[in-house]
Amino acid sequence: MTAFFKALLLAHTASLAFAATYWQTDSHTGSGFLKAFRFEAISDPTHGRVKYVDSATAAAQNLTFASGNHFVLRADSKTTLSASGPGRNSVRLLSNKQYRNGVMVFNIRHMPVGCGTWPAVWTVGSNWPNQGEIDILEGVNNQGPNTVTLHTSSGCSMPASRAQTGTALLNNCDVAASNNAGCGVRMTDTRSYGSIFNNKGGGWFAVERTDSFIKVWFWSRAATGMIPTDVLNGATSVNTNNWGTPRAYFPNTNCPISSKFGLHNIVINLTFCGDWAGNAYGSSGCPGTCIDYVNNNPSAFTNAYFDFAWLKIYQ
């Protein structure tokens, strides 16, 4: 092979390695979520005041609902709980498929809000924390903005200064080093979480994962003219090079992403109180205690629901 063709091959290989165009492999909307995810009726690993129900119970109590391009996931908002009984009925979904590198775009109209709530959209490996966790949308007690967080085993940290618009909270991703706080980035856009998110019609969260970095973006539905057209339209291909500076950026500078993050399932869940929402309850301006509030105020959770327009995955 001549030197010219060797150089041409190397250039082509390099262009593929750094390509930011991804092609759609999965698209879920409406009842498609019920086919792509399974119900996890398990004890809450975060010790919440919740009872995750199975698919039959969720259907009977209308805790999951699909119509057209709406998929709704919510908690019970009718039952006053006994202090000695189980927690509030809610839903935890786990994707049937697992994913490694690629792009996920979540088009969400509404998210759960209220004192005591802890909603999350995230991905996780089977051998936690050794296969890693990526929290894409998460927060507690209606206290925004959104926080994006990585959780790993030891040996993964982030540089203090990096190309992101969000604010780094902690830079050591090791769950053992910070009581499972991980390395979080708080978005500066108040429209990214809670009641403000809902009042603006929601928006899009996108995560790109490669062996070199993990990036997360958010665009409010109210950000007219600022939303990339491939995201807005749920196009069959996306080019992340056109998406601008991410809200959260996690490079592999001091974190071997390829070994710290394995195959991941997508999780969508809503819990109450527990390790984070319960501990932060008193400083969130919420009344009484978290467990008493969740037990005795079912109508407070009328707005504790997700409404997904679609989820599209690109690889």
Residue numbers annotated as active site: 133, 138
Structure tokens given for 314: 């690109």
What backbone torsions phi and psi does residue 51 show, to the nearest 5 degrees? -125, 105
Query: How far is the C-alpha of 13 from the C-alpha of 56, rounded, in Å?
Result: 50
For residue 119, give Cα distances in angstroms to 60, 63, 166, 269. Answer: 22, 14, 20, 6
Residues for the chain: how many in total? 315
Query: How far is the C-alpha of 149 from the C-alpha of 188, rounded, in Å?
Result: 15
String of DSSP letters for 58-70: HHHTTSEEEETTE
Q: Is 196 helix (H, G, I), strand (E, B) or coil?
A: helix
